[in-house]
């Protein structure tokens, strides 16, 4: 008699466990649940991409500092800047025009 009671109880417990397991799985497969899972994965992926981009930015800044140190560059904002080269270009352009005028004059003389 105890054997039958034992197996009956074991079978009922297994049935309840299996039913609970199946119901949980079915709830996970509803459209609302699948949408929520997809949204959570998307948010998680966005956070990972943001962290990756921040790591890349930090690495770039670190490498730029290393290269600046190796090349002897200084980030002193009060340092004098080189004069603009635009004026030199304008001056050379005007002297070029003068040279061209003399060439034309030479050709006209002959």
pLDDT (tens digit per residue) in 14-23? 999 999 999 9
Question: 69: pLDDT confidence band, cut at 50, 70 and 90?
Answer: confident
**Longest Cα pair distance anywhere in the chain, in angstroms?**
136
CA distances from 67 to 27, 71, 74, 75, 86 (A): 56, 6, 11, 12, 29
Q: Does residue 93 carry a pLDDT above 60?
A: no
Q: For the whole model, what pTM was predicted?
A: 0.46
Average pLDDT, the chain: 81
Phi/psi zone of residue 73: left (φ > 0), alpha (ψ -120 to 50 degrees), beta? beta
Q: Is the pLDDT of residue 31 over 60?
A: yes
State yes or no: pLDDT of 4 exceeds 90. Answer: yes
Kindly list the distances between the CA atom of residue 47 and the CA atoms of 41, 42, 44, 50, 65, in Å, as whole numbers in the listed order: 10, 9, 5, 5, 27
């Amino acid at each position: 008699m105890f054997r039958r009671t034992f197996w009956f109880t074991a079978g009922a417990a297994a049935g309840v466990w299996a039913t609970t397991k199946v119901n949980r799985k079915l709830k996970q497969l509803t459209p609302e649940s699948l949408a929520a899972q997809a949204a959570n994965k998307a948010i998680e992926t966005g956070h990972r991409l943001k962290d990756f981009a921040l790591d890349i930015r930090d690495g770039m800044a670190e490498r730029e500092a290393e290269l600046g140190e190796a090349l002897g560059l200084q980030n002193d904002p009060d340092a004098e800047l080189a004069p603009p080269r635009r004026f030199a270009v304008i001056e050379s352009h005007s002297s070029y025009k003068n040279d061209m005028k003399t060439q034309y004059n030479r050709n006209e003389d002959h």
